[in-house]
């Protein structure tokens, strides 16, 4: 019963380095998301993929890119890391978009990736 799995769990980067956060879900969900969580700011959406083959910007997309590799996998890339990108990153997924009723809007989260940029 893995749910949403993301790697790595912890990473320290130097300013300017690049890295990719990997995420996979085994719930056959259509939609996947990347959030960042900062103290006092709550969860902020970076990018999302409503369905396989599509990606869209969220609230804070600058400095990030994403790839929806297939229905299961959604990766987040930092091309040139900056100290402002120090945060906890969560990958998430949900079943269906646009449902009128039911639990289609329930979002399931991974365990988080703690990223520090020095």
Partner 1 sequence: QKEVEQDPGPLSVPEGAIVSLNCTYSNSAFQYFMWYRQYSRKGPELLMYTYSSGNKEDGRFTAQVDKSSKYISLFIRDSQPSDSATYLCAMSGNTGGFKTIFGAGTRLFVKA
Residues in touch with partner 1 (CB under 8 A): 4, 31, 33, 40-43, 45, 48, 50, 56, 58, 90, 92, 94, 96-112
* Token duo for residue 3: 């749910």
Report the alpha-carbon distance of residue 95 to residue 103 in Å, rounded. 8
* Token duo for residue 10: 């912890």
Q: How near is the Cβ of 66 to partner 1 at its closest, in Å?
A: 13
**CA angle centred on 23, ends 19 and 25, rounded to 5°:** 175
Q: Whose structure tokens read 């990606």?
A: 55
* CB contact burial 27-37 (16+ within 10 A = b; e otherwise): eebbbbbbbbe
Q: Are strands 113-117 and 10-13 parallel, antiparallel or unpaired?
A: parallel
């Amino acid at each position: 019963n893995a749910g949403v799995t993301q790697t790595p769990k912890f990473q320290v980067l130097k300013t300017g380095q690049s890295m990719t956060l990997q995420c996979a879900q085994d719930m056959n969900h259509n939609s996947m998301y990347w959030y960042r969580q900062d103290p006092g700011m709550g969860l902020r959406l970076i990018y999302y993929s409503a369905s396989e083959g599509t990606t869209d910007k969220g609230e804070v997309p600058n400095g990030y890119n994403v790839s929806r590799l297939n229905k299961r996998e959604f990766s987040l890339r930092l091309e040139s890391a900056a100290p402002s990108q120090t945060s906890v990153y969560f990958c998430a997924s949900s079943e269906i978009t646009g449902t009128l009723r039911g639990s289609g809007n329930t979002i399931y989260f991974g365990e988080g990736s703690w990223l520090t940029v020095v």
